[in-house]
Amino acid sequence: MPGLNPAIRAVTIRALREGFRVLGIRRGWAGLVDLVPDPQADNSAHVRELTEDVVNRAGRTGGTFLHTSRTRPSHLPRDIVPHHLRDKYTAEINDVTHEVLHNLDFLGIDYLIPIGGDDTLSYADRLHKEGVKVVAIPKTMDNDVPGTDYCIGFSTCVTRTIELTHRLRTSAGSHERLLVIEVFGRYAGFTALLPTMAGAASRCLIPEHPFNIERLAETLINDRNRHPSNYAVVLLSEGATMAGEEGMTFEDQEQDQYGHKKLGGIGDKVAACLKELSPRFNQGRRINVLNQRLGYLVRSGDPDALDAIVPMAYGNLALDLIMSNTFGRLVSIHNGCYDTVPIDIVTGQKKVVDVDKYYNIERLRPKYDTFLRQPLFIMTSDI
């Protein structure tokens, strides 16, 4: 995820200068689950001491040099319980929070700064309630962590989506086709809505409002036939659903530890339906469809400027809270200003697009009613 390494860099450099020793937990919560609390054990796969040299090199790059995982210590399946704990935890699903707390004590960690989305941060809230001194940083390209206008990774995701969509236009225009592009967005449609607002597509489909496929076909074909190059583009969130169908479209039924199935395939459905319906709205002539899932392309590579600047500020804001002995907070942006909110906000509500205010359900596109006094990121300040 672009922006993670700059955030780790900012936290590390400021903390070192304040006199702290900094440890990086590898693979997220998995590092604290798998660590062996024995001074003689080799825990280099689970924890790493951070220095300015280490984070300066990594801070300019995308992804996370500490790696990541989908481990949820409060719901750990038996088959991935570490070997040294298997005699103790034998249920199908286990809560190993006691071990996490013990390992934090073993490492001598006084303050914990988790960086992640609402799944990661919901467990951070659990640790806060257990007495751990937690300050959290929001990171998700979907921009759907409640309590903040901005999550690390969102700007790079939107930038990549716009760039890649414009590149794909050359093929769509050359072949006079409809272009269907599927982007990330399980419950919130910000990653489809903002690129559309920026001109990357003529229409977008978001999880917050089920769409009528015939209405989409009619609208999109009308867009195509009015375009000088005879093509039209629709961006759709992976969590978008057709009216009349139950649930989202999944690649398979396997769930991760947070109960999420892997989304994907709504673009395939929409593309097939558009091709089938096209003669009805195009004087009997079929229109072919280009279908592309952007997937991990939008979260790969180096961070853009915003995802280098905001993580720097978030990291320093987290240290400000630690230096003032203020814990259980999530650093945030609200109406263009850096701020903090209680971390339990991540478990108390969902952050989604306000359809009535920001999405035109008839035209399947953003509303452009007014920008006066709107926040920089639009649609994201209703906290």
Q: Active-site residues: which are they?
A: 142
**Of how many residues is the chain composed?**
383
Pairing label, strands 329-334, 135-138: parallel
User: CB-based burial of residue 271 (10 Å sphere; 0-12 exposed, 13-18 middle, 19+ buried)?
Assistant: buried
Residue 261, Cβ density class (10 Å: 0-12 exposed, 13-18 middle, ≥19 buried): middle
CA distance linking residue 349 with residue 174, whole number of Å = 45
> Strand ranges (DSSP E) for 211-361?
232-237, 250-255, 261-263, 289-293, 329-334, 337-342, 359-360
Sign of CA dihedral 337, 340, 342, 345: positive
- SS3 of the chain: helix, strand, coil, percent, to 5: 40, 15, 45
Contact assessment for residue 235 and residue 204, using Cβ atoms and an 8 Å cutoff: yes
Backbone dihedral region for residue 259 (phi beyond 0: left; psi -120 to 50: alpha; all else: beta): left
How many helical (H) and strand (E) elements, i.e. helices and strands, does the chain have?
Answer: 12, 16
Structure tokens at 144: 């759907």
Can you tell me the distance from the alpha carbon of 371 to that of 376, in angstroms, rounded to the nearest whole number?
Answer: 9
The number of angstroms, rounded, from the C-alpha of 324 to the middle of its chain's C-alpha atoms is 29
Residue 183 is which amino acid?
V
H helix intervals, 113-175: 118-129, 154-175
